[in-house]
A and B are shown apart, each in its own frame.
Chain A
Amino acid sequence: MKSSSDKPVGVVGAGNFGTVIANILAENRKVLLYARDEDAVDRMIRKQENRGHKMHANVEPTGDMAHLARECDVIFPIVPSQHFRSMMKKLGPYLHPYHILIHGTKGFDIKLPKGGSIETARTLSRREVKTMSEVICEESVVVRVGCLAGPNLSKELSQRQPGATVVASHFNEVIQVGKRLLRNDRFQVYGNNDLVGVEIAGVLKNIIAIASGALSGLGYGENAKGLLISRGAVEMVYMGRALGGDTKAFLGVAGIGDLVTTCNSPMSRNFTVGYRLAQGEKLKDILESMEEVAEGINTVRIVKKCAEYYKLRPLITDTLYKVLFEGMTVQDALDYLMRYPLNVDIDFI
């Protein structure tokens, strides 16, 4: 493994999570960190700091994708899902079949007919809804793809609190590379072969996070949250299986692990949306006051539409949809769910 240890590792996307991952990687290796914005690159070079994170000396900011692809065999793309495809279209031409890509983005890519919206589309299925790893394969010749998922709050990672992540890939080789690069005495890395399952778990948990925020906003305590998380996990398993994942992925670090963390983290954007809705604010006002879009809101729309196609009835998602877009109050939604005659605990194993 000599020659690869000479080569730097690439990170594409200098957001919060991207910067933190670059810092973790920098403990083992030289890192090239790509930012789209030239000014941001200059600022990082000048201040050795980005988004409140001090940057490791091994991290070299760059605005040159071709350079990054040439220098690095292993690249971590970490950009928001709505920009992921356009980023891959730019990066794709520089990539070769020997590249390994491990992404850290939790969201779906969705292909709609021109001028259409999620609601007006005739149907929505896995033909239109893609995971990030699928976008990578569609937009480049790279096949050795993986993803990074788990309870990874950027803030705690940057404080070097103990934590773990999952590197998922169909290729053991990719998992090994991910482990070797990311692992340190404060950060445990698990492998999983169910790439799609892990990706989907990471996306679906955002829905439950909104619901969790809503419960908190109504002032309810831990019993209610326990109920939500466990029923939420069941819903994730059913939806996840329809979308091509395997049950096991949802029970691991990237499933339950991530779900529990996000549902308990008032810092998360999805949680905040739910919380403020329960306090009686309107979705429009909440979104206007937020800097970035909470991924979960789009996910609710996508999953609701997909569920129609796959003939599933995801209760929490459907009810949340009514709250978000059809004016149902959070209290009514809760009453509705509590009255719903569904009493089998576990029926998916």
Chain B
Amino acid sequence: MEILEEKKNKNIGYEPILDGIPDWPVYQLSKNRKEFLEEVTQKSIEQIRLLRPTRKQLIEELETTVHREQNRMKRNRWRVDPKDESRFWMKVKNELIELNNKSAEESEKKEEQILHSIVSRYANEIAGNFKPSSYKFAREATKFWFGRLLNGARVKKFGAIFRNQYTLRDKIHIVGKVKMLRKLASQGTVVMVPTHFSNLDSILIGWIIHSLGLPAFLYGAGLNLFNISIFAYFMNSLGAYKVDRRKKNLPYLETLKMYSNLALQKGAHSIFFPGGTRSRSGLIEKQLKLGLLSTTIEAQRNLYLDNEPRKIFVVPVTLNYHFVLEAPDLIEDYLQVKGQDRYFPEQDNYGSFQLLKFMFKFFTKGSSISVSIGPGLDVMGNYVNDDGNSLDANQNIINPREYFMTDGKVTIDKQRENEYTRMLASRIVGEYHRINRIFASHLVAFVAFEMWLKKYPKLDLFGFLRLPEEDLVIPYEEFKATFKKIRKEIYKMKDEGKVHHATHLKGDLDLVIQRGIDNVGVFHLKRPVLKNKKGDIVTQDLNVLYYYHNRLVGYDLEKLI
């Protein structure tokens, strides 16, 4: 079925804002990779020494690090982990033991060496390697193969595979403050902070950045993704740096933050997935990881300290899907650990083959993606205007430098900046909800789930989810009436600037509901919402329905059902 999901895009290509790859900040970084990494290493060491000022504390920290690393290797090794790591950590361990037999002076020198070797190892591990040649290749390959898939699948004629009637742009709709983003990227440093639902997000964002004519961004991508070779290839070539969430030790975290901090100071546009990991529940992220986010604030403060007026802009982005490949596994994870503070094992049940299969399905069937680009914020979460000036609530221009001032001078105050990071995080979360685009499929899932939930007020969530799916039926007319009510509320919220919705949400009610049902979780084996023979609403998988329903949690819509 061919469904025109959105208003036809204007389908204009965007001119690149910088002429050649050699001008790109990310290229500059990789060209001077060695010097840059040495700088990261040196500054991280300074920072670690600041946090662990005495020798005893430092040695303890190093011992903890070795201990944790060895534990990790024992319990949770990945394909991407370097082959020599057990040897390396063994060596460090032995060197630490030997410290006891050394004089204070000798030992101090040795400590310095050990710390340096660890930090510099981490820095090299984290660092991306942007290569213009493979960047270009990856870019063209994406365009070419996606193009072929699309045209071959859509236009059912012999030879269609060689046509260029459809491009990715027909599949992926970019809406929101595109012009502003382009302008900000040429005036300052942009940190893009997208929501994270699927492993596909990274590739999607890469394509979007290119298609908007922006230079490549630095990525902080989860190391687990590099286990999947097809991803590893793309991300390496796009300049991704690696974030290993298994490593929670201080030297690693400080090195990671310093890498991002210095890259930002040098003007490299970056992408953080501030949720840290894919949203397990399908909820829009509420709790953001503050570590990487804090580097935006530190980098901005350092720029002010150096009297550099260049600004760092934070741009929230939401990715909206009808369908998330990993949904059944994600929600299972979520339900298992809900209420318990347990570590999520990174399981990627989808190798390269499954992904390709998904891509093919994606391009051959009518399931589009929309990407909403939010308005630019300064590092304090204030809106900025097109010229990059920060604005207060009354649209007056303010100088964010003053947030870092005490007694008329820019000062460093870690505790203050931690608080600023928290404020920025909550501003980003607010923006996510505002720029989120509601699809018919989200609304269908939401209404169906809440209507059923309402029928069992005595059950808690888990009790409810254990109900046999066969028992759950909503008469179509009842469903339609509720759907209509909620849709009206969404229109109202849109007018108040609280949320956005896709154009396809408007129009004939029956059609919109049908469109939602046809699209929600469309490729899952068990469909979350469908109609039975009588035309009433049923489900085959309540857990997955819960997942898709969660997308609209946080707007207080359930109160109306």
Give the B-binding residues of A (Cβ under 8 A). Answer: 1-4, 73, 93, 96-98, 138, 140-141, 143-144, 170-173
* Contact status A96-B423, CB under 8 Å: no
* Contact status B407-A138, CB under 8 Å: no
Q: How far is the CA of A242 from the CA of B392 in the complex (A)?
A: 30
Indicate whether B393 reaches chain A with its CB closer than 8 angstroms: yes
Q: How far is the CA of A171 from the CA of B411 in the complex (A)?
A: 14
Given contacts A97-B398, A97-B400, A143-B380, contact A171 B405 (CB under 8 A): no
For B406, the chain A residues whose CB sits under 8 A away are 4, 98, 173
Q: Is the interface of B mostly helix, strand, loop or mixed?
A: mixed
Q: How far is the CA of A49 from the CA of B219 in the complex (A)?
A: 64
For A172, the chain B residues whose CB sits under 8 A away are 413, 415-416
For B398, the chain A residues whose CB sits under 8 A away are 96-97, 141
Q: How far is the CA of A217 from the CA of B407 in the complex (A)?
A: 52
Indicate whether B403 reaches chain A with its CB closer than 8 angstroms: yes
CB distance from A145 to the nearest CB of B (A): 11
3 shortest interchain CB distances as A-B pairs: A97-B402, A98-B402, A97-B403
- Interface of chain B residues 397 through 433 with chain A (CB within 8 A): 398-400, 402-403, 405-408, 413, 415-416, 419-420, 422-423
Give the A-binding residues of B (Cβ under 8 A). Answer: 380, 382, 392-394, 396, 398-400, 402-403, 405-408, 413, 415-416, 419-420, 422-423
For A96, the chain B residues whose CB sits under 8 A away are 398-399, 402
- Starting from the known contacts A141-B382, A171-B415, 18 additional A-B residue pairs (CB-CB under 8 Å) come to A1-B407, A2-B407, A3-B407, A3-B408, A96-B398, A96-B402, A97-B380, A98-B403, A98-B405, A141-B398, A143-B403, A143-B420, A143-B423, A170-B419, A171-B416, A172-B415, A173-B413, A173-B415
CB distance from A36 to the nearest CB of B (A): 22
For B419, the chain A residues whose CB sits under 8 A away are 170-171
23 A-B residue pairs with Cβ-Cβ distance under 8 Å, sorted by A, are A1-B407, A73-B407, A93-B396, A97-B380, A97-B398, A97-B400, A97-B402, A97-B405, A98-B402, A98-B403, A98-B406, A98-B408, A138-B393, A143-B380, A143-B420, A143-B423, A144-B416, A170-B422, A171-B415, A171-B419, A172-B415, A172-B416, A173-B416
* Contact status B415-A97, CB under 8 Å: no
Which single residue of chain A is at the shortest CB-CB distance from B396?
A93
For A3, the chain B residues whose CB sits under 8 A away are 407-408
For A170, the chain B residues whose CB sits under 8 A away are 419, 422
Q: How far is the CA of A345 from the CA of B407 in the complex (A)?
A: 49
CB distance from B343 to the nearest CB of A (A): 26
For B402, the chain A residues whose CB sits under 8 A away are 96-98
Q: How far is the CA of A172 from the CA of B398 in the complex (A)?
A: 24
CB distance from B206 to the nearest CB of A (A): 35
Which single residue of chain B is at the shortest CB-CB distance from A123?
B559
* Contact status B392-A141, CB under 8 Å: yes
CB distance from B561 to the nearest CB of A (A): 16
Q: How far is the CA of A171 from the CA of B393 in the complex (A)?
A: 22
Q: How far is the CA of A3 from the CA of B413 in the complex (A)?
A: 18
CB distance from A176 to the nearest CB of B (A): 10
CB distance from B86 to the nearest CB of A (A): 43
For B403, the chain A residues whose CB sits under 8 A away are 97-98, 143
For B393, the chain A residues whose CB sits under 8 A away are 138
For A73, the chain B residues whose CB sits under 8 A away are 407
Which single residue of chain A is at the shortest CB-CB distance from B382?
A141
